[in-house]
Structure 1
Amino acid sequence: MSTSYYTAYNTRSEKTNILLWISRLFVGLLFIFSGLIKANDPMGFGFKLQEYFHVFHMNFLNDYSTWIAVIICALEIILGALLLLGIAGKKVAWGLLLLIIFFTFLTFYSAFFEVVTSCGCFGDAIPLTPWQSFIKDLILLAFVLYIFVYRAQLKPVIKNNFSRNLVTFLIIVASFGIGIYTVYFLPFIDFLPYKVGNNIPKLMEIPEDAPQDEYQHIYSIKHKTTGENKKVTDKVYMDEKIWEDENWEIVGEPETKLIKKGYQIPISDLNISDAEGNNVTQEIITNPYYNFVVVSTDVTKLSPTDFLALDKLNETIRNLSKDYNIRATLLTSSSSSDANYLNDQLDLVLEIFYADAVPLKSMVRSNPGVLLLQNGVVINKWSKQSFPNKENLEKTYFQGH
């Protein structure tokens, strides 16, 4: 082998290793980030999965969507972390390839057939359109393919076999642990409009100086003499004063296209009604006193454990109401008959009101879950597992009131 050939071979190998490291860093960090963002709110990701289940006629998986979400999130984190560390390189490369092909198919299907409006790739933290998600997956696919081709060069950063196994075990435990924890004790970071500190009534209003949607109107015009047809925007139509030229006439109705979205109301779908159908939204959300809002999107989905948890928090609120001026409500999207049955079973101290399931799912990622409101501000929120006892609530919120 000549010296020049050997030098060229080494140079090419070095460049390949550099590109491989760049690919490892990019793919590994992005997979970890994506997995962590979704693991922060696996129930929300589960709702997104239910949309895909509906599209592919797999609704029988709906009841397991949250735990499927936990598994997918953990898998992303594990594959990303092991890729960075170079552990089990060939298996990780296969896992990444299969996973990114699956994601790319889903995002393309969503975008092309317009069946799911947002993929949920980065949860509610960074909403992406289906086409944005598809492009992101195509870029990732290119990097993953490169990693797959050179998977034999993936060498572990940790040389000691015992240490590698220990680190792998800890990564797996942590990856699943994050998702399981947030299922039971709510997200670490709340990206939804009902997060602690937010003023719900203000988030239902449009500010006076809020930017409006901007539209473009496209006219189809025809030349009376030559028969020429063309399309022009309303700006061109006015700027070039085509409207003054009697040789041109507008054909049909103009097309309207949204070119820039204006201010979007964070909470646009919250409508609370009583059993008679009267709208009581403002009455509930602007209550000046402490207002416990218990949310159970679907009371028929309450497991025996959920049922006991609801009974426990109902009794806690009942005991508080004996000593303090508070209001307590139950919001549900269930039928009045199902809600009344629950009331009969638990002798609820909670006033029952009704709202659509979509905003209720955004209020608190737990069934049941609890929000504490005052003057429309979310003071705190709890899952069924984390709702405090009477003594803790008194000490934190009611002493001195």
Structure 2
Amino acid sequence: MKYIVWISRIIVGVLFIISGWIKLNDPMGFSFKLEEYFSPGVLDLPFLTPIALGISIFVVIVEVILGILLLIGFKPKFTVWSLLLMIVFFTFLTFYSAYFNKVTDCGCFGDAVKLTPWESFTKDVILLVFILILFFGRKYITPLFTPKINWIIGGVALVACAWFANHVLNHLPTVDFRPYKIGANIQEGMSVPEGAAEPIYEYAWRFKVNGEDKIYTTAGEYPSVDGEFIDVETTEIQKGYEPPIHDFTIEQDGVDYAGKVLNLEKLMMVVAYDLKKSNYEAFKEIAEVAAKAKQNGYRVIGMSASSKEMTDELKVEYGLDFEFFFTDETTLKTIVRSNPAVLTLKKGTIQQKVHYNDLDKLTF
């Protein structure tokens, strides 16, 4: 039992630290995932949406700290009870998402590792087994160091986590796991390679035969049935290849200019997914940066999911000498974790991407 507890201790501790660190690297992204869970169509807890970021930071820091405490064997009773309560909650959440198909990606490992709902649930069940081993064998969890050193390690870890969370929120994630990272080409991210797997569908055809409704299932071909056709229901039974970028558009008056704009040699994008939530003070400096970019031959555009009325007002108020285009809010949130933010591109390849606090780092 002692050795089983040690193995479980290492597995659970390391997994919690890795999972927590990945989300701590991008707490804003995890908060967007929590907002999905809080939405009316899922858990229906809209009153938690305004504090989703705070909950995100708290949860991921706790996750990392518990992993560290488990590995050093500090406060084993508190640590194991906390791990058990956390994994029971997560297991319920992933089962609910999988069974009712509510949230297609739990965000357990951020954008680094994508898991389907059932994969997430399976992962949590396995972790639950290991944590139950720790719970019933907690007397074998002994500290690696003296209480003083354990307190120091725990305290330093807490301060480091808080500092890191503050740093990435005021700049950008240290490691970018998304398909819009610096060096990525957006057109290539949207392309489907030759020979890529295509989705497989199942068709359930309903006919009225001799006064009775009957269902005939095919892979797509129209069934030879001596009866009256009623309707057909299509079900995707196997997903095909989906490119990393599949929802990117740059629209204006219903026309998508993405293909044209992304071919520009010098392009600067000002991204503000929701102007109601933007840091307006940043637009004063953005106006200056945009003017400098234009002097250096850049085409400057704004990208937002807000209304034309709002973007027009913003342009007038801050003297923004560039036009705005519409892009889906979720896409803009995925592109960059700052509102607003600035990107520079060369023929669709992202050269620079900065938080509004780092506009002075842009080079033209």
Same fold (TM over 0.5): yes
Find the counterpart in structure 2 of residue 129 from structure 1.
116
Pairwise CA RMSD: 2.8
Contact 1:70/1:180 (CA < 8 Å) preserved in 2?
no
Find the counterpart in structure 2 of residue 193 from structure 1.
179
Q: Could you tell me the percent identity over the aligned residues? A: 38
Residues of 1 paired with 2:217 and 2:325: CA distance?
Answer: 52
Contact 2:306/2:326 (CA < 8 Å) preserved in 1?
yes
Q: Compute the displacement of 1:285 (Å).
A: 1.8
Structure 2 residue 273 is the aligned partner of structure 1 residue 297: yes
Which of 264, 267, 270 is the aligned partner of 1:287?
A: 264
Find the counterpart in structure 2 of residue 273 from structure 1.
251
Give the alignment of 1:1-400 within 5 angstroms: 16-54=1-39, 55-159=42-146, 161-215=147-201, 258-274=236-252, 276-288=253-265, 290-302=266-278, 306-322=279-295, 324-389=296-361, 393-394=363-364
Query: Amino acid of the residue matched to residue 321 of structure 1?
Result: K
Unpaired runs of at least 5, structure 2 = 207-213
Contact 1:314/1:348 (CA < 8 Å) preserved in 2?
yes
Query: Amino acid of the residue matched to residue 384 of structure 1?
Result: Y
Contact 2:12/2:127 (CA < 8 Å) preserved in 1?
yes
CA-to-partner distance for each residue in 1:274-316, whole Å, 9 max, x for gaps? 2x3332222222212x2110110001112xxx21222212212
SS at match of 1:188: coil
SS at match of 1:371: strand
Contact 1:201/1:286 (CA < 8 Å) preserved in 2?
no
CA-to-partner distance for each residue in 1:132-157, whole Å, 9 max, x for gaps? 11111111111112212222332110
TM score, norm. by length of structure 2: 0.88
Residues 219 and 278 from structure 1, CA distance in 2 versus in 1: closer, same or farther, beyond 3 angstroms? closer
TM score, norm. by length of structure 1: 0.80
Query: Amino acid of the residue matched to residue 311 of structure 1?
Result: K
Residues of 2 paired with 1:135 and 1:153: CA distance?
Answer: 27
SS at match of 1:195: coil
Unpaired runs of at least 5, structure 1 = 1-15, 221-228, 235-242, 395-401
Residues of 2 paired with 1:321 and 1:256: CA distance?
Answer: 50
Residues matched between the structures, number = 354
Residues 296 and 256 from structure 1, CA distance in 2 versus in 1: closer, same or farther, beyond 3 angstroms? closer
Residues of 1 paired with 2:93 and 2:158: CA distance?
Answer: 26
Contact 2:202/2:217 (CA < 8 Å) preserved in 1?
no
Q: Compute the displacement of 1:339 (Å).
A: 1.2
Query: Amino acid of the residue matched to residue 356 of structure 1?
Result: D
Contact 1:73/1:179 (CA < 8 Å) preserved in 2?
no
Residues of 2 paired with 1:141 and 1:99: CA distance?
Answer: 10
Query: Amino acid of the residue matched to residue 331 of structure 1?
Result: M
Residues of 2 paired with 1:59 and 1:230: CA distance?
Answer: 41
Contact 2:204/2:215 (CA < 8 Å) preserved in 1?
no
Higher radius of gyration, 1 or 2: 1
Residues of 2 paired with 1:110 and 1:357: CA distance?
Answer: 23
SS at match of 1:348: coil
Find the counterpart in structure 1 of residue 210 from structure 2.
none
Contact 1:297/1:360 (CA < 8 Å) preserved in 2?
yes
